[in-house]
Amino acid sequence: MKKVTLLGDSIRRIGYGTKVSEMLGEEYEVFQPEDNCRFVKYTLRLIFDFKAQIEGSDVIHWNNGLWDIPTGLFDDGEPFTSEEEYVANMLRVAKELIKLGKRVIFATTTPVHYEHPYNGNKIIKRYNDLIVPKLMEMGIEINDLHTTVMQDVYKYICEDQIHLSEEGIAVCAKQVVNAIKGE
């Protein structure tokens, strides 16, 4: 039996993570925290808390970004997590996950509706573009959920303008399963 860990924010927790275990089938044991892994620094802390459950995973699939990127939460127009802090903490997460699992896959941050008041697709793309090459240099595989969801934001993102719709959950779960299986 292969051991899989799923880590990530609500795109995982109430999104693709709700389907992946069933889709993988009985050949896979899937661990994922019930907690929303939120922003990257929170994920880093959860890795410490769940180290025993994560350790020895054949595959660790992880996403972060939507909690880090919002601008407009305050009047300064700055993202919640600066580019420098995001990259530094993402690399710390990556280093820890490499120690705990045989394969690590990062899922790019998914887009939002164009009208979302705090997150914008331009900055989401910027943060993806900043981190993906650095993770690839470390040997981390990339699952490009961003491009998949970007094909039809209004179909794949629900009315709240940020989370996956049922169609989005289905397409992302399939892509996550394929990434885990190496297909």
pLDDT digit string, tens, across residues 14-32: 999 999 999 999 999 999 9
Sign of torsion, CA 101 40 63 46?
positive
pLDDT greater than 90 at residue 76: no
pLDDT greater than 80 at residue 72: no
Q: Count the alpha carbons within 13 Å of 85 in the hemisphere toward its beta carbon.
A: 13
Q: How many residues does the chain have?
A: 183
For residue range 158-180, list pLDDT tens digits in order: 999 999 999 999 999 999 999 99
Write down all domains in the chain, each with its CATH number in brackets: 2-181 (3.40.50.1110)
Say what angle helices 40-49 and 83-100 make with each other, to 10 degrees: 20
Residue 72 CA to residue 61 CA, distance in Å, equals: 30
Return the pLDDT at 78: 86
User: Rounded mean pLDDT of 141-165?
Assistant: 97
Return the pLDDT at 119: 87
